[in-house]
Structure 1
Amino acid sequence: MNDGFSLDPRMYLQGRPSPLLAKAALCLMTIFACTAAPIMMSPAAAQGRPATIVAFGDSLTAGYGVKTSDSFPAQLQMALEAKGHKVTVVNAGVSGDTTSDGVARLDWALEPKPDAVILELGANDALRGIDPKVPRANLDKMLTALKDKGIPVLLAGMKAPNNWGDQYAKSFDAIYPDLASKYALPLYPFFLEGVALDRSFTQPDGLHPTAAGIAEIVKRIMPDVEALVASVEQKEAQKK
Structure 2
Amino acid sequence: MRKALIGLLLTGWGAAATAEPVVIAALGDSLTQGYGLVQDQGFVPQLQRWLVAEGAEVTLINAGVSGDTTAGGAARVAWTLTPEVDAMIVALGGNDLLRGIAPEVARGNLATILTEAQQAGVEVLLIGMQAPGNYGAEYKAAFDAIYPELAAQYGALFAPSFFAGLAAEGDPSAVSGLMQGDGIHPNAEGVARIVAALGPHVLDLIRSAEE
Could you say whether these structures have the same fold, taking a TM-score greater than 0.5 normalized by the shorter chain as the test?
Answer: yes
Aligned positions of 1:148-163 closer than 5 A:
148-163=119-134
8 Å Cα contact 1:54/1:91 also seen in 2: yes
In the alignment, the residues of structure 2 paired with residue 107 and residue 203 of structure 1 have an alpha-carbon distance, to the nearest angstrom, of: 32
Alignment pair present for 1:216 and 2:193: yes
8 Å Cα contact 2:122/2:209 also seen in 1: no
In the alignment, the residues of structure 2 paired with residue 205 and residue 168 of structure 1 have an alpha-carbon distance, to the nearest angstrom, of: 24
In the alignment, the residues of structure 2 paired with residue 47 and residue 75 of structure 1 have an alpha-carbon distance, to the nearest angstrom, of: 27
Alignment pair present for 1:227 and 2:198: no
Cα distance per residue 1:76-132 (max 9 Å; x no partner): 110111111111111000000000111111111112440100000011001111111
8 Å Cα contact 2:37/2:188 also seen in 1: yes
Q: Could you tell me which residue of structure 1 aligns to residue 113 of structure 2?
A: 142
Alignment pair present for 1:202 and 2:173: no
Please state how far the C-alpha of 1:139 moved relative to its aligned partner: 0.3
Give TM-score scaled by structure 2 length.
0.86
2:152 maps to a residue whose letter is S
Match of 2:97 among 126, 138, 163: 126
Match of 1:93 among 64, 69, 86: 64
8 Å Cα contact 1:195/1:202 also seen in 2: no
SS in 2 for 1:195: helix
Matched length: 189
Q: Could you tell me which residue of structure 1 aligns to residue 12 of structure 2?
A: none
Please state how far the C-alpha of 1:195 moved relative to its aligned partner: 2.2
SS in 2 for 1:103: helix
In the alignment, the residues of structure 2 paired with residue 205 and residue 47 of structure 1 have an alpha-carbon distance, to the nearest angstrom, of: 46
Give TM-score scaled by structure 1 length.
0.75
Alignment pair present for 1:69 and 2:46: no
SS in 1 for 2:186: coil
Q: Which has the higher contact order (CA 8 A, sep 6+)?
A: 2
In the alignment, the residues of structure 2 paired with residue 224 and residue 151 of structure 1 have an alpha-carbon distance, to the nearest angstrom, of: 16
8 Å Cα contact 2:117/2:123 also seen in 1: yes
Please state how far the C-alpha of 1:231 moved relative to its aligned partner: 2.0
In the alignment, the residues of structure 1 paired with residue 59 and residue 75 of structure 2 have an alpha-carbon distance, to the nearest angstrom, of: 24
Q: Calculate the aligned-residue CA RMSD, in Å.
A: 1.5
Match of 1:169 among 107, 119, 140: 140
8 Å Cα contact 1:199/1:206 also seen in 2: yes
In the alignment, the residues of structure 1 paired with residue 110 and residue 35 of structure 2 have an alpha-carbon distance, to the nearest angstrom, of: 22
Please state how far the C-alpha of 1:173 moved relative to its aligned partner: 0.4
In the alignment, the residues of structure 2 paired with residue 216 and residue 200 of structure 1 have an alpha-carbon distance, to the nearest angstrom, of: 12
Alignment pair present for 1:55 and 2:12: no
The runs of 5 or more residues in structure 1 that have no matched partner are 1-45, 236-240
2:206 maps to a residue whose letter is V
8 Å Cα contact 2:81/2:120 also seen in 1: no
2:184 maps to a residue whose letter is L
Q: Which structure's CA Rg is the greater one?
A: 1
Please list every run of at least 4 consecutive aligned residues from structure 1 whose deviation after the TM superposition is greater than 6 angstroms. Answer: none
Q: Against the structure 1 CA distance between its residues 186 and 66, is the aligned structure 2 distance closer, same or farther, given a 3 Å change threshold?
A: same
In the alignment, the residues of structure 2 paired with residue 192 and residue 87 of structure 1 have an alpha-carbon distance, to the nearest angstrom, of: 23
